[in-house]
């Protein structure tokens, strides 16, 4: 009897253990299938979005020359469009960045069937769009035969979706319909800086305005280099890529060649605009923030001299440098359209700064943060002079920055915010 009871107990125990084991196995199988289903749904949702970075240190998508190549087997789907653009078509809004997808028919109507041409670049034509909402926009259309333009389209959407600054041209939307790829920007009513420097039909820019434009551009680049996470190198700073709004404030445009600093900086093919290219980049095939500084230095001399870099601007500058003494003697390169109406002290300071920016050795060039401080100080000094014409007492709040030491300044110094805010209030 006792043996039968023991056998029964043992049998029940084994049955309970087996039952528990089966229950646990069933539970984990259920969890596995549920998780797999969630991953599939999440992947579907992500595929419907533009692959745009979050603006933070946890951003993990990396731009590189190779990752943007059109030769990838994943690069095309139906209608010959890239797979990521197929995802774009499915989304009415890119929730992460607030970038809108504009219907093709709305842009067609707003541009009078794409007849309101306002510009033409390597990417393709740019049209003015008068939307039914009343807003005015600029629509950049990818040339259908431009493989490089397709890369630049993706780059601009990915970068500008997370870059927002008052001195950058803001991307507000895109269109990827009817085999067309378009980027939609805030309309800059005064056009490019290049047109104001070289178009004889437009009134010449006065000296005060040229310095203000130089500061606006410097601030935009400072944000890219020191404010964006991760930092961004523009790689194509030139006067035609600087656009002016109704108030003649400048913004940096065209991010098609831009790259995040964290990517491999060594490239096989040189990209950019000759005349603005850093000689060190040309010789090493490696670009850095200081490559942008060099291009910016060329732009500064372009503002001073009103001469196109493709017409021997730097050679002209070097000849003048032989006759100048650091911060003096730059008058001979001044744009004749200024008709002698400029502050000679400011001219020499800006020219000396520009000359440091185009130093053949990148380590001797100032940072964009240094440049912003020098130009802010110049505008602050001008502001003080205007308010102290009847007083012999010099401004006590003036901050002096030694231009000679810019190339050796630490990048850890704090930005002088008072200079930034003061310069914004100056009327030019």
Q: Would you name the residues annotated as active-site residues?
A: 236
CB 351: neighbour CB atoms within 10 A?
A: 25
DSSP 8-state symbol, 262: T
Neighbouring C-beta atoms of residue 297, cutoff 10 Å: 25
Q: Which two tokens stand for residue 267?
A: 């490239």
Separation between Cα atoms, residue 261 and residue 288, nearest integer Å: 7
* DSSP H helices in 48-66: none
DSSP class per residue in 65-114: TTTT-TTSTTS--GGG--HHHHHHHH-SEETTTTEEEPPHHHHHHHTTTT
Cα 422 to Cα 391, 396, 404, distances in angstroms: 20, 14, 24
Q: E strands of 234-350, at which residues?
A: 242-244, 250-252, 259-260
User: What whole-number distance in Å separates Cα of residue 217 and Cα of residue 238?
Assistant: 10
Cα dihedral: 235, 277, 374, 376 (round 10)? -50
Which residues have CB under 8 Å from 317's CB, separation 6+? 301, 305, 333, 354, 355, 358
Which residue bears the tokens 């043996």? 3
What is the torsional sign of CA 53, 295, 144, 147? negative
DSSP SS3 for 230: coil
């Amino acid at each position: 009897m006792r043996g039968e009871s023991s056998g029964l107990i043992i049998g029940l125990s084994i049955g309970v253990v087996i039952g528990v084991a089966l229950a646990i196995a069933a539970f984990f199988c259920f969890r596995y299938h549920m998780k797999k289903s969630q991953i599939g749904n999440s992947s579907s949702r992500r595929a419907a979005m533009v692959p745009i970075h979050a603006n933070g240190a946890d951003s993990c998508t990396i731009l590189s020359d190779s990752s943007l190549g059109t030769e990838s087997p994943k690069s095309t789907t139906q209608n010959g469009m890239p797979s990521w653009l197929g995802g774009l078509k499915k989304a009415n809004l890119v929730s992460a960045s607030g970038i809108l997808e504009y219907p093709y028919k709305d842009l067609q109507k707003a541009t009078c069937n794409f007849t309101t041409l306002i510009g033409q670049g390597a990417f393709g034509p740019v049209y003015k769009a008068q939307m039914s909402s009343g807003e005015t926009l600029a629509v950049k259309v990818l040339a259908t035969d431009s493989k490089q333009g397709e890369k630049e389209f993706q780059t601009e959407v990915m970068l500008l979706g997370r870059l927002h600054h008052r001195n950058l041209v803001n991307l507000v939307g895109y269109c990827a319909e009817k085999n067309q790829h378009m980027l939609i920007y805030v309309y800059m009513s005064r056009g490019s800086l290049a047109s104001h420097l070289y178009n004889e039909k437009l009134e010449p820019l006065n000296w005060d305005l040229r310095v203000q434009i130089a500061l606006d551009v410097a601030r935009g680049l400072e944000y890219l280099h020191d404010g964006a996470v991760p930092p961004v190198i523009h790689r194509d700073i030139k006067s035609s890529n600087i656009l002016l709004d109704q108030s003649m404030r400048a913004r940096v445009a065209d991010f098609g060649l831009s790259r995040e600093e964290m990517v491999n900086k060594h490239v096989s093919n040189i990209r950019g605009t000759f005349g603005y290219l850093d000689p060190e980049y040309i010789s090493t095939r490696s670009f850095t923030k200081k490559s942008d500084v060099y291009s910016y230095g060329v732009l500064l001399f372009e503002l001073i001299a009103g001469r196109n870099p493709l017409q021997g601007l730097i050679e002209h500058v070097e000849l003048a440098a032989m006759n100048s003494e650091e911060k003096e003697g730059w008058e001979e390169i001044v744009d004749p359209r200024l008709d002698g109406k400029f502050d000679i002290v400011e001219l020499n300071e800006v020219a000396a700064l520009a000359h440091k920016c185009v130093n053949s050795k990148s380590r001797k060039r100032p940072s964009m943060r240094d440049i912003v401080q020098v130009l802010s100080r110049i505008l602050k000094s001008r502001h003080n002079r205007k308010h102290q014409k009847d007083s012999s007492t010099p401004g006590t709040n003036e901050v002096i920055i030694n231009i000679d030491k810019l190339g050796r300044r630490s990048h850890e110094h704090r930005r002088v915010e008072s200079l930034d805010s003061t310069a914004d209030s100056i009327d030019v």
